[in-house]
Amino acid sequence: MSLTQLHQTRNLLTKGLPTKKIPKSFLWCGHLARKLSRTGRIPIPQNWGIYFLVIHKGLFTNLFTVAFTAILLTNIGINQAQASCAAPYSNLDFEQQPSSYWQIEGRGGFDVKKGYSFKGQNNAWMRNVSGWNGIRQQVRLKPNTNYILEAYVRTSANVTDGYFGVRDSQQKVWSELKFGSLPQYTKLTLQFRTGNASAYNIFTGLWALGQDSWVQVDSFSLKGPSPECFDQQ
What is the tally of structural domains in the chain?
A: 2
Do both 64 and 113 map to the same domain? no
Residue 134, in any domain of the structure: yes
Residue 65, in any domain of the structure: yes
Do both 139 and 48 map to the same domain? no
- Confidence (pLDDT) at 191: 98
Do both 215 and 122 map to the same domain? yes
Residue 30, in any domain of the structure: yes
Instruction: Report whether 44 contacts 33 (CB < 8 A).
Output: yes
Residue 132, in any domain of the structure: yes
Distance (Å, whole) CA 194 – CA 144: 5
Do both 165 and 218 map to the same domain? yes
- Confidence (pLDDT) at 76: 33
Helix (H, G, I), strand (E, B) or coil at 182: coil
Distance (Å, whole) CA 134 – CA 108: 7
Residue 92, in any domain of the structure: no
Q: What tens digit of pLDDT does each residue of 114-153 get? A: 899 898 889 999 999 999 999 999 999 999 999 999 999 9
Instruction: Report whether 212 contacts 129 (CB < 8 A).
Output: yes
Domain span holding position 135 = 103-223
Helix (H, G, I), strand (E, B) or coil at 223: strand
Do both 197 and 160 map to the same domain? yes
